[in-house]
């Protein structure tokens, strides 16, 4: 049996590869900067199955899983929320921690998201997450989709606030912004297509259990 795993380029790649290495699957070839391959096969297997990885853009991980080109994937919770992905979340992998937050200029008079005026302009890469949040507040806003340098929007007067991922908060501080609200916390998640996982559960259940155990063990180790 061949098991295909969708791995995201960028921040989650090293953590995802380390996770699979701990359960006996090696996709480390994807970390070689001279490598241009987008699909690699693990030279080792813990159970006799063939394991291959697809290297895809972060927001494409749930798409490859949802359409069945990958049986498993590693995606941020933020991406799953934004894409409204129809995938099963099998495990919180305990790495890639960040938060989705509302931020404004440091000299703003707003002290909470509820202080923003009706029809305020909100810039974000995460259009659905931003819309869902303000809908939940029953506050009508205009969402401005931006896909780079979102922090510039309040500084230039394009928007009153932004909704974006925050890890350390350094980028916000260096650009004169401050967090108002944390909408939710995000970590990497192991995902699968819900139907195909149920159908192939016997073949994947043991692997998923090992991955869950490894994620928990790694999380405990990092706290010691």
Contact yes or no for 121/160 (Cβ under 8 A): yes
Considering the domain architecture, whether residues 87 and 104 belong to the same structural domain is answered as no
Considering the domain architecture, whether residues 84 and 191 belong to the same structural domain is answered as yes
- State the Cα–Cα distance between residues 171 and 152, nearest whole angstrom: 11
Considering the domain architecture, whether residues 169 and 209 belong to the same structural domain is answered as no
What is the per-residue pLDDT for 203?
Answer: 72
Task: Retrieve residue 88's tokens.
Answer: 């099963």
Considering the domain architecture, whether residues 103 and 144 belong to the same structural domain is answered as yes
Contact yes or no for 124/150 (Cβ under 8 A): yes
Residue 202 has pLDDT above 70, yes or no: no
Global pTM reads: 0.90
Give the C-alpha distances (Å, rounded to integers) separating 144 from 7, 91, 105, 211.
29, 33, 17, 38
Considering the domain architecture, whether residues 122 and 92 belong to the same structural domain is answered as no
Number of structural domains found in the chain:
2
Residue 220 has pLDDT above 70, yes or no: no
Contact yes or no for 113/137 (Cβ under 8 A): yes
* % of the chain surpassing 70 pLDDT: 96
Task: Retrieve residue 60's tokens.
Answer: 């494409």
What is the per-residue pLDDT for 223?
Answer: 47
Mean pLDDT confidence for 168-197: 93
- State the Cα–Cα distance between residues 39 and 43, nearest whole angstrom: 13
Considering the domain architecture, whether residues 131 and 180 belong to the same structural domain is answered as yes
Considering the domain architecture, whether residues 6 and 111 belong to the same structural domain is answered as no
Considering the domain architecture, whether residues 27 and 57 belong to the same structural domain is answered as yes
Helix (H, G, I), strand (E, B) or coil at 143: strand
Considering the domain architecture, whether residues 129 and 209 belong to the same structural domain is answered as no
Report pLDDT digits (tens) over 115-133.
999 999 999 999 999 999 9
Average pLDDT, the chain: 93
Residue 163 has pLDDT above 80, yes or no: yes
Considering the domain architecture, whether residues 55 and 87 belong to the same structural domain is answered as yes
Confidence of residue 216 (pLDDT cuts 50, 70, 90): confident
- State the Cα–Cα distance between residues 15 and 21, nearest whole angstrom: 10
What is the per-residue pLDDT for 154?
Answer: 97
CATH of the domain at 218: 3.40.190.10
Angle between helices 13-22 and 201-223 in degrees, nearest 10: 110
Report pLDDT digits (tens) over 94-115.
999 999 999 999 999 999 999 9
Burial code of 109-141, b = ≥16 C-beta within 10 A, e = fewer? ebeebeebeeebbbbbbbbebbeebbeeeebeb
Backbone angles phi, psi at 4, to 5 degrees: -105, 135
Q: 113 is in which domain, residue-wise? A: 98-185
Report pLDDT digits (tens) over 9-64.
999 999 999 999 999 999 999 999 888 899 999 999 999 999 999 999 999 999 99
Considering the domain architecture, whether residues 82 and 157 belong to the same structural domain is answered as no
Q: Which residues is 215 bridged to in the sheet?
A: none
Contact yes or no for 59/79 (Cβ under 8 A): yes
Task: Retrieve residue 199's tokens.
Answer: 């159908």
> Residue 77: how many CA atoms within 13 Å on its side-chain side?
20
What is the per-residue pLDDT for 222?
Answer: 57
């Amino acid at each position: 049996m061949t098991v295909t795993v969708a791995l995201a380029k960028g921040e989650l790649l090293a953590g995802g590869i380390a996770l699979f290495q701990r359960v006996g699957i090696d996709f480390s070839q994807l970390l070689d900067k001279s490598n241009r391959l987008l699909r690699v096969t693990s030279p080792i297997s813990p159970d006799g199955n063939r394991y291959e990885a697809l290297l895809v853009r972060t927001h494409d991980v749930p798409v490859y899983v949802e359409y069945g080109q990958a049986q498993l994937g590693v995606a941020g919770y933020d991406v799953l929320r934004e894409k409204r992905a129809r995938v099963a979340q099998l495990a919180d992998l305990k790495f890639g921690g960040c938060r989705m937050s509302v931020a404004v200029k440091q000299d703003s008079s707003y002290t909470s998201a509820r202080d923003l005026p009706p029809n305020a302009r909100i810039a974000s890469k995460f259009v659905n997450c931003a819309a869902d949040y303000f809908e939940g507040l029953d506050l009508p806003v205009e969402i401005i989709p931006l896909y780079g340098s979102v922090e510039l929007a309040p500084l230039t007067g394009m928007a009153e606030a932004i909704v974006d991922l925050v890890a350390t908060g350094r980028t916000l501080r260096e650009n004169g912004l401050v967090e108002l609200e944390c909408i939710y916390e995000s970590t990497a998640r192991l995902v699968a297509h819900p139907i195909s996982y149920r159908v192939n559960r016997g073949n994947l259940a043991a692997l998923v259990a090992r991955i869950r155990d490894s994620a928990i063990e790694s999380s405990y180790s990092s706290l010691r």
